[in-house]
């Protein structure tokens, strides 16, 4: 069956009929008569391709006169009618389209240029903020023959989406027959106008698009971003999370936003300035939180902002089983220009057996393969029942064991009660497993959650999620763990030579929460120099000297594609410290501190930076390529 991504237009198909006729006549042979039944074969082949259309009525300007301090819900209604005979269904998507620019959701004043932002058409806790919203509903009278399903809470007043967002769908059993009624839905609009809103006439648009089948990605195409903006697009319809646009600071460094998108079965490898990065030889790749210098006048023309598209890599297997590091092209370092030479050949994606989460992986400049996304391993009853979260690179060929635990793996992690992935410090100088409620998020260090209000998506110029980690947290930040948690030991080292109950010693831990076969990176230079699989070793491969004293372009390489280190911060005393990104190593400094990689506005510090062992930081795992 033919497939097409129909965008608000009729598709023309040709009905083809092929006739093939064969006639076998009787044969007369010498001395005998042989007869054969006359045979006629008539072959008819008819192809009826999928045909889908989307039409609308009441799409002219909806108008209303609204006084300040007023909430109005009857600004106008658009009726959409969808017809599709694709047995695999269809979906309807919506996006803001103000000023003929994709993704712009504000209503813009005709005379003053002031705006009314999108929202839920309420005071939203602040009566000084004007906002408008959209709401979808299906036609219920008369009862539709082919009803459509409303998605993503659009049955309530909802902020107009800044990226293509599925708002309605039909899964199967779609309209058939020449007299099919189709699926009909309506969109109404509402607004709250603050008492201080400037008097003016405000205009905005919403654009609707149909695609089929229902599970197809929306057709990729260049999206025109507003001038003076950097906008982030998911480049897929099967994603979770939303993002907006950030203001460009001209003649200055602009730090890109980390990703707030996730896609099941795919790893996020960074951003690209082309939607067709896989086939476009001119595609440029950016790190998840790269610094980009933008000169005056760039991206300032009409509809010429910087559009960045998520780079997705489909999973190629499991982290625990993988031995394909050597098949990837290593990132190379151009010492003349102090820059990284990169391409998609540097990256792949792999899935963690423990929770089926997928991570982008790259062979970096040191020749080793690193996770280029922060670890998101979480603690839940279903995952923990079999002890699957307590993995290292120990004796188990599938998952690994923590041979250094003070008690058996099954005792610490086999019970659904001992499910927390962080450890609580006791004044006696040891650490113990925190026994928290499996249903109580407060019993674990928080991470991004779709249940959070995603403040960052609506206010993209905010630097990070708020201090109590309840709103605006970015998906790329991953999870936060204390050092005893990431080395998977209940011992709290008093010194680099402290010995636990099993005789575990040395200044580098030999167990971790990394997948089996993978390990935590080494911290500072040890012994005779930097160790392969360590932050300092990677820094040297990128043109650095392995410690924080360096200057120059190479210090920014930590943020670039495909390294992708982000400003995820650190949690101390249950508060988020939002300065840069802190990444655990396996290396202890003393009884109080362990070495970390620090990535901040000054660059990367891989050598002698350290943090409190009982502060919670983020994790990247490395597979040493031998």
Q: Would you call 457 helix, strand, or coil by DSSP?
A: helix
Q: Does pLDDT of 344 surpass 90?
A: yes
Rg (CA), the chain: 29
Instruction: State residue 268's pLDDT score.
Output: 97
pLDDT greater at residue 92 or residue 242? 92
Which helix or strand (DSSP H or E) is residue 443 part of?
none
- Whether the CB-CB separation of 501 and 406 falls below 8 Å is answered with yes
Q: Find all residues with CB under 8 Å of 28, minimum gap 6, and list them.
A: none
**Residue 397 burial (CB count, 10 A):** 9
**Highest mean pLDDT: which range of 151-155, 173-177, 248-252:** 248-252
Q: Does pLDDT of 431 surpass 80?
A: no
Instruction: State residue 316's pLDDT score.
Output: 95
Is residue 109 packed enough to be buried (19+ CB in 10 Å), middle (13-18) or exposed (0-12)?
middle
Instruction: State residue 318's pLDDT score.
Output: 93
340: which strand partners?
333
Q: Does pLDDT of 521 surpass 50?
A: yes
Ramachandran region, residue 429 (left: φ > 0; alpha: ψ -120 to 50; beta: rest): left
233: which strand partners?
309
Question: How many angstroms separate the most distant Cα atoms in the chain?
Answer: 115
Instruction: State residue 454's pLDDT score.
Output: 38
Instruction: State residue 33's pLDDT score.
Output: 47
Instruction: State residue 413's pLDDT score.
Output: 33
What is the mean predicted confidence (pLDDT) over 558-571? 90
pLDDT band at 416 (very low <50, low <70, confident <90, very high): very low
Q: Would you call 344 helix, strand, or coil by DSSP?
A: helix
pLDDT tens for each residue of 242-270: 787 889 999 999 999 889 888 989 999 99
Instruction: State residue 450's pLDDT score.
Output: 31
- Nearest in space to 107 (alpha carbons), one of 125, 134, 82: 134
- Whether the CB-CB separation of 598 and 618 falls below 8 Å is answered with no
- Whether the CB-CB separation of 487 and 501 falls below 8 Å is answered with no
Instruction: State residue 588's pLDDT score.
Output: 83
Q: Does pLDDT of 387 surpass 90?
A: no
0.75 exceeded by pTM: no
pLDDT band at 443 (very low <50, low <70, confident <90, very high): very low
Instruction: State residue 493's pLDDT score.
Output: 47
Angle at 231 between CA 130 and CA 463, to 5 degrees: 70
pLDDT tens for each residue of 446-484: 333 333 333 444 454 554 455 444 455 678 888 777 776
Alpha carbons within 13 A on the beta-carbon side of 3? 13
Instruction: State residue 456's pLDDT score.
Output: 44
> Tokens representing 236?
């897929």
Lowest mean pLDDT among 99-108, 453-462, 509-518: 453-462
Rounded Cα–Cα distance for residues 34 and 381 (Å): 81
CATH 2.60.40 for the 52-219 domain, yes or no = yes
- Whether the CB-CB separation of 379 and 389 falls below 8 Å is answered with yes
Average pLDDT for the chain: 74
The residue assigned the tokens 């192809």 is: 47
Q: Does pLDDT of 134 surpass 90?
A: yes
> Tokens representing 528?
């005779």
pLDDT band at 180 (very low <50, low <70, confident <90, very high): low
What is the mean predicted confidence (pLDDT) over 370-377? 91
């Amino acid at each position: 069956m033919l497939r097409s991504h129909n965008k608000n237009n009729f598709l023309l198909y040709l009905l083809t009929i092929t006739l093939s006729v064969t006639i076998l006549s009787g044969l007369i042979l010498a001395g005998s008569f042989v007869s054969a039944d006359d045979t006629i074969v008539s072959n008819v082949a008819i192809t009826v391709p999928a045909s889908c259309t989307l039409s609308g009525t009441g799409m002219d300007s909806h108008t209303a006169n609204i006084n300040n301090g007023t909430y109005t819900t009857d600004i106008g209604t658009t009726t959409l009618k969808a017809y599709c005979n694709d047995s695999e269904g269809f979906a309807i998507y919506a996006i803001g389209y103000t000023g003929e620019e994709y993704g712009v959701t504000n209503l813009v004043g005709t005379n003053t240029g002031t705006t009314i932002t999108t929202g839920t058409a309420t005071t939203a806790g602040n009566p000084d903020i004007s906002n408008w919203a959209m709401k979808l509903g299906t036609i219920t009278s008369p009862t539709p023959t082919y009803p459509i399903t409303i998605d993503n809470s659009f049955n309530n007043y909802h902020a107009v989406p800044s990226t293509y967002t599925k708002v309605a769908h039909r899964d199967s059993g779609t309209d058939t027959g020449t007299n099919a009624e189709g699926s009909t839905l309506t969109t109404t609009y509402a607004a709250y106008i603050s008492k201080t809103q400037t008097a003016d006439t405000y205009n905005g648009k919403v654009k609707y698009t149909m695609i089929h089948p229902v599970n197809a990605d929306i057709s990729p195409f260049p999206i025109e971003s507003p001038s003076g903006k950097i906008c982030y697009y998911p480049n897929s319809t099967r994603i979770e999370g939303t993002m907006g646009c950030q203001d460009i600071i001209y003649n200055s460094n602009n730090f890109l936003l980390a990703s707030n998108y996730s896609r099941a079965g795919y790893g996020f490898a960074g951003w690209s300035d082309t939607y067709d990065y896989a086939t476009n030889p001119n595609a440029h790749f950016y790190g998840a939180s790269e610094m980009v210098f933008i000169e005056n006048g760039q991206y300032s023309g009409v509809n010429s902002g910087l559009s960045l598209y998520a780079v997705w890599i489909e999973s190629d297997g499991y982290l625990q089983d993988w031995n394909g590091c050597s098949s990837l092209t290593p990132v190379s370092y151009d010492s003349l220009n102090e820059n990284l030479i990169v391409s998609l050949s540097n990256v792949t994606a792999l899935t963690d057996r423990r929770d089926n989460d997928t991570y982008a992986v790259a062979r970096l400049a040191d020749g080793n393969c690193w996770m280029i996304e922060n670890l998101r391993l979480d603690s839940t009853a279903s995952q923990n029942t079999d002890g699957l979260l307590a993995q290292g690179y120990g004796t188990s060929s599938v998952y690994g064991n923590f041979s250094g635990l003070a008690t058996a793996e099954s005792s610490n992690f086999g019970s659904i009660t001992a499910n927390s992935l962080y450890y609580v410090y006791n004044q006696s100088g040891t650490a113990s497993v925190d026994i928290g409620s499996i249903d109580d998020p407060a019993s674990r260090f928080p991470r991004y959650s779709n249940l959070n209000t995603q403040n960052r998506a609506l206010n993209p110029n905010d630097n990070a999620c708020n201090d109590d980690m309840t709103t605006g947290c970015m998906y790329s930040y991953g999870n936060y763990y204390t050092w005893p948690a990431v080395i998977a030991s209940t011992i709290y080292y008093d010194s680099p030579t402290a010995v636990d109950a099993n005789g575990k010693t040395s200044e580098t831990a030999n167990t971790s929460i990394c997948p089996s076969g993978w390990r935590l990176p080494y911290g500072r230079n040890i012994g005779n120099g930097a160790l392969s699989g360590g932050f300092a070793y990677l820094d040297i491969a990128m043109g650095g000297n392995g410690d924080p004293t360096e200057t120059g372009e190479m210090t920014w390489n930590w943020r670039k594609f495909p390294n992708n280190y982000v400003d995820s911060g650190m949690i101390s005393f249950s508060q988020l410290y939002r300065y840069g990104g802190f990444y655990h190593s396996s290396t202890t400094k003393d009884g109080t501190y362990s070495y970390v990689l620090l990535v901040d506005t000054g660059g990367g510090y891989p050598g002698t930076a350290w943090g409190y062992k009982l502060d919670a930081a983020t994790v990247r795992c490395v597979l040493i390529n031998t």
